[in-house]
Amino acid sequence: MTKKRTLLSSLCIVISGTLVLSACSEANKETVSTAENTSEAKINPAGQYPISNDKINLKVLTQQDVNVENLETNDFTKWYESKTNVHVEWEVVPKSAAAEKLQVKLAGGDLPEVFMSAGITDSQLVAYGSQGLFMPLNDLIDKYAPNVKKMMKNSPWLDQYMYTPDGKIYSIPNVGETFHATMPKKMFIYKPWLDKLGLKMPTTTEELYNVLMAFKTKDPNGNGKADEIPLSGANGTTNSNNEPESFIMQSFVYYDKTTYLMVDKGLIEFAADKPGYKEGLKYMHKLVQGGLLQPDAFIQDRKALTALAEDPAGSRLGAGTALYWGNMAIDNGPSGRYKDYAAVPILKGPDGQVFGFDRGHVPSAGAFVITRNNKNPEASMRWIDWFFDEHAKLNEGWSDYLGQEGVGWKKPDAGLKGIDGRPATYQMIMPFGTKNNNRWTQTAPRYQDEAFRMSLAATPEAETEVRLQAITKELYKPYSKAEMQVPHMFFKEEDLMQFGDIQKNISTVVQDFMLKFVTGSLDIDKDWNKYTQELDNAGLQQYLKIVRDSYSKIKK
C-alpha cells in the first residue's frame, strides 16, 4: 500500500510486544513503494480465483502447531490449494527449535519464500527488512490485498504494528482481539485436592502458602506416598506464560518480563530492583525452601509440567501457572483432568495490594513475511489476503481456524447466543485443543476482532473460549493495572545498535539472579547489592535513560 506518513519528532510508536529500536527519519514522510519484482506466473485480479491459471509452488516455513496432524495432507490445505492453484511446500519447525532455526535461516540467507507464524521478532523485521532480506509489502497490499486494507482501515491503531520507521511494511500481523489473552498470567489449582482436604480457594499469598503446605503433607492423592508436587510451572522462554514468577510477582510489583519496565506515577521505572520485587523473591524462596514450589518449574519444558498433571496413576500437580489449563493438563484430553483445574485469582500480597499484568490486545507483528527469494510475491499476497475476512470464510464453508462446515463448525442452532449474549454467528463442533487434520487452527495469521470472537455460540464445544472469557472477566480484569504498562516505542538512531544488547544483558542478569535467590544459592538480603551492581554493569541506567527520553516525547 502506498502511503505517506508524518511523524512527530524522531519518535515512533512500536510495532509489537517487544521494545525495538530504529531511527525515525525523514523517510517516514516520503511516499513508499515496493521494489520491482518480476513474477513467474500471471496473476489474476484480486477477488478472482484461482489466483493464477498456472500452478504456483510456494515455499513456506512455519512453526508446528501441536493440534495439526500434518499440514501436507490436511483437509484445509487440499481445499485451499484447489481454490487458489497454489501448492505449498511446507517446512515445519518444532516450536522448541524455531528461534534457532529462524536465526540460522536469516544469517545464512537460505530463505523460504514466506515466513508464516515463524516467530519473527520486531527487531528482526526492522533489521532484515532494511537489509533487503524481507520484501516491502506496501504496494502489494494496495494492489492485491483488499481484506488487509479493510482491516487497516477498520483498525487504524494497527499502523504502529505494521509501519517500520522507514515507512515500509515488512509483515502482515496476526490480529486476534482475544479478551482472555489480555491478562495471560494465570494460575490453576487442582480442585479435587482442595475439596478432599476441605480447603477454600486461596485469595492471598499467605492462604496459597497454607494450601500448598497441605498438598505436601496431607497426601491429597491418597496413595500413601509423598509424591505430590504442590506448585510448578515451566520455562517461560519456550512456553507461553508458564513461568511461575510472572503470576506470583503480581502480588508484589507490576511485572512485565519482556522489559521489566513499568509506568509509576507518570515515570518509567525498572521493576526488577524495587522493594516489591525483592519481597516477591523472598516469597518464592520460602515456597522453594519449603518444598512447595518445584525448583524445576523455572527450567523445565511444558511436557514435564503436563506429565505431572497427566500421570496415569493420578494427577501429581496441585497447582500450575499458565495462560490456560491446556498449557498444563491436556485440553480435552482423555483423563478429563483439564476440567478439574480451577483458576486462582490474582493473590493479594502482604500489604493487600495486587498488580495485575494487563497487556491489552497485542498483535503478532511478524506473522507473514515475504522474502527476497519469493518468485511470485503478488500471488503470495493474494494467497494470504483470503485469511483476513472471517465472515467470508464461513460463507464459503471453510475456515483455516475452524475447519470445514459440518466438521469443525456449523451455523448456529436456532436461538443460540454468543459468548457476549448476542445472537451467535457460528457454532463449534470440534472443540478447540482437538488434534485433527481438518483445519490449521493457529498456523496462519488472520483478523479476528472482538465482535467475531464473541459471536461464537456458547456451547459445550466452545468450553475453552467460554470458560476463559468468564475467568478473565471475573478473576483477573478487576485487578488490571493497565495504566502501568509501558507504551511500545521506537527510539532514536544513535540508540539503535546498543539498546538490544543492553536489554538482553539486563534480562540475563535478572533471570540468573532470580534463580539463585529463589533456590538459595545466593542470599537475597546479603547479595542484593551484588545484584544491583550487576544490573548497573549491564547498562541499566543507560537503558532507563533511552526509554525515559523517548517516553517524555510521547507525553508531550
Maximum CA pair distance of the chain?
Answer: 73
Please provide residue 507's backbone torsions phi and psi, each rounded to the nearest 5 degrees.
-60, -40
The type of residue at 20 is: V
Q: Which residues are CB-neighbours of 382 under 8 A, at least 6 positions away?
A: 43, 46, 51, 84, 144, 145
Please give the share of the chain, as a percent, with pLDDT higher than 70. 90
The number of helix segments (H) and strand segments (E) in the chain equals 18, 15
* Residue with cell string 487458489: 84
Q: Which three cell numbers stand for residue 8?
A: 512527530
The two domains 26-179+361-396+441-451 and 182-319+327-344 share their CATH topology (first three levels equal)? yes
pLDDT band of residue 238 (cuts 50, 70, 90) is: low
Element (H, E) at 370: strand 364-370
pLDDT at 491: 58
Whole-angstrom Cα distance, residue 324 to residue 305? Answer: 13
Q: What is the pLDDT of residues 67-121, one digit of tens each?
A: 999 999 999 999 999 999 999 999 999 988 998 999 999 998 899 999 999 999 8
Q: Which of 27-36, 236-245, 493-502, 526-535 has the lowest mean pLDDT?
A: 27-36
Q: What is the pLDDT of residues 117-170, one digit of tens each?
A: 999 987 788 888 989 999 999 999 999 999 999 999 988 888 878 988 788 999
The type of residue at 535 is: L
Average pLDDT of the residues in 291-311: 94
Q: What is the pTM assigned to this prediction?
A: 0.74
pLDDT band of residue 375 (cuts 50, 70, 90) is: very high
Residue 471 bridge partners (DSSP): none
Q: What is the pLDDT of residues 423-464, one digit of tens each?
A: 999 999 998 889 999 999 999 999 988 888 889 999 988 888
- Bond prior to 45 in cis (omega within 30° of 0): no
Rounded to 10 degrees, the C-alpha dihedral 8/9/10/13 comes to: -40
Q: Which of 237-241, 309-313, 366-370 has the lowest mean pLDDT?
A: 237-241
As a residue count, the chain comes to 556
The type of residue at 458 is: A
Is 393's pLDDT higher than 60? Answer: yes
DSSP state at residue 163: B
Q: Where are the domains of the chain?
A: 26-179+361-396+441-451, 182-319+327-344, 493-555
pLDDT at 201: 98
Q: Which three cell numbers stand for residue 302?
A: 511444558
Whole-angstrom Cα distance, residue 249 to residue 283? Answer: 9
CB contact at 8 A, 530 and 57: no
Sign of the alpha-carbon torsion through 503, 262, 445, 440: positive
Average pLDDT of the residues in 346-362: 90
Is 2's pLDDT higher than 80? Answer: no
Q: Which residues are CB-neighbours of 62 under 8 A, at least 6 positions away?
A: 71, 90, 91, 92, 93, 115, 116, 117, 118, 443
Class of domain 26-179+361-396+441-451: alpha beta
Q: Using CB atoms within 10 Å of the CB of residue 353, give its burial: 0 to 12 exposed, 13 to 18 middle, 19+ buried.
A: middle
pLDDT at 17: 40
The type of residue at 195 is: D
Q: What is the CATH number of domain 182-319+327-344?
A: 3.40.190.10
Q: Which residue has the higher pLDDT, 323 or 491?
A: 323
Q: By C-alpha distance, which of 362, 375, 218, 208 is closest to 293?
A: 208
pLDDT at 11: 34
pLDDT at 460: 87
The bridge status of strand 261-264 relative to strand 409-410 is unpaired
Mean residue pLDDT of the chain comes to 88
pLDDT at 490: 58
| Per-residue CA distances from 163 to 6, 8, 86, 160, 361 (Å) | 12, 15, 28, 6, 18
pLDDT band of residue 28 (cuts 50, 70, 90) is: very low
Is 13's pLDDT higher than 60? Answer: no
CB contact at 8 A, 483 and 516: no
